[in-house]
Chains A and B, each alone.
Chain A
Amino acid sequence: MENPEQVFNGIVHDYAERLYWHVRRMVGSHEDADDLLQDIFLKIWSALPSFRGEAQLFTWVWRIATNETLNWLRKEKVRAALRFASADDLAAQKVAADPYFNGTAAEREIAKAIARLPDKQRQVFLLRWWDELSYEEISAITGTSVGALKASYHLAKEKLQLNLSDTDVSK
């Protein structure tokens, strides 16, 4: 039987990179994603004894990651409010100023529009569109019904198309 450290190292090996990309798209900058990923894996390590195997390891790990990310974004909103700024605008500014962004101007516009989506809609949109998870998998991770997820995804797409309607990138 594997000891907790071996299980944890296996999780790091299997999920760190994929989770990084998800978190990076959620928070908008490499530095924030790096910090948040450290917190997520600390949480995974401390919660490992409570993993009883009822859920798939994949679902359990992603659930912790998405919850931690939403918590981080909530705190970011408070921090932004204390500076009399909008968190959505700050997220878009981070995308605009990201030194590791190698895409075209149109791709930057898409990334900024995604950053302006409400947190939960952005989460659902990214899990479905970028990470290509099924609605059933997203439902198991977020605890939201498949119907509500489909509605959320549809709304997110509509908002993106509306925000990008002035550019050529929505086609």
Chain B
Amino acid sequence: MTKKNPISVPDGYFASLEERLQQIPAQKAAPRFRMAPYLAFAASLLALAVIGNFILRKSASPELSDDDIRSYLLASNTSVEQIYSVIYEEDY
């Protein structure tokens, strides 16, 4: 078998091909270096711990409104002076 290239390309194809291919980096975001697997694992654990801690804190100390506090104090045997001191943070 003889070896002669019998196929061709449209005129100016390779110049335009190179130009098109060199636009790929601009079209796609710059490649990011991948995090090593053990670092990715450690980061996931840390994120899990932070999120878990946040959720636990939120559930352990629910936000109370002023009305909740007033209702609680009024229902208890707390004196008016003490209630005022809690609400207005002043000493009576």
Confirm or deny: A64 has a beta carbon within 8 angstroms of a beta carbon on chain B.
no
Confirm or deny: B1 has a beta carbon within 8 angstroms of a beta carbon on chain A.
yes
**Known contacts A102-B8, A107-B4: A4-B18 contact under CB 8 Å:** no
Expressed in whole angstroms, the Cα–Cα distance for A171 and B2 within the complex equals 8
Contact string against A for B residues 1-45, beta-carbon threshold 8 Å, 1 for contact and 0 otherwise: 101111111100010011011101100101111100000000000
For the complex formed, measure the closest distance between the CB of B14 and the CB atoms of chain A, giving whole angstroms: 5
Task: State the total of A-B contacts with C-beta under 8 angstroms.
Answer: 78
Confirm or deny: A122 has a beta carbon within 8 angstroms of a beta carbon on chain B.
no
B24 with A49: CB separation less than 8 A: no
Chain B contributes a number of interface residues (CB within 8 A of A) equal to: 23
Task: Flag the segment in A36-44, A68-76, A133-141 that touches B.
Answer: A36-44
A12 with B31: CB separation less than 8 A: no
**Known contacts A34-B17, A37-B21, A41-B21: A4-B4 contact under CB 8 Å:** no
Contacts of B4 in A (CB 8 A): 103, 107
Expressed in whole angstroms, the Cα–Cα distance for A41 and B27 within the complex equals 12
- Main SS at interface, chain A: helix
Contacts of A24 in B (CB 8 A): 7
For the complex formed, measure the closest distance between the CB of A63 and the CB atoms of chain B, giving whole angstroms: 18
Confirm or deny: A61 has a beta carbon within 8 angstroms of a beta carbon on chain B.
no
Contact partner of A20 (CB less than 8 A), chosen from B14, B22, B25, B28, is B14
Interface centre among A21, A98, A100, A108 (most CB of B within 10 A): A100
B30 with A101: CB separation less than 8 A: no
A104 with B6: CB separation less than 8 A: yes
Contact partner of A4 (CB less than 8 A), chosen from B10, B14, B22, B31, is B31
Across the A-B interface, the 10 shortest Cβ-Cβ residue pairs: A103-B6, A107-B6, A12-B21, A49-B31, A5-B25, A49-B33, A41-B21, A100-B8, A45-B24, A9-B22
Instruction: Spell out B's residues near A (CB within 8 Å).
Output: 1, 3-10, 14, 17-18, 20-22, 24-25, 28, 30-34
Pull 17 A–B residue pairs with CB atoms less than 8 Å apart, ordered by A: A4-B25, A8-B24, A12-B22, A16-B21, A20-B17, A30-B7, A34-B17, A42-B24, A45-B24, A45-B28, A45-B31, A100-B8, A100-B9, A100-B10, A102-B6, A103-B4, A108-B6
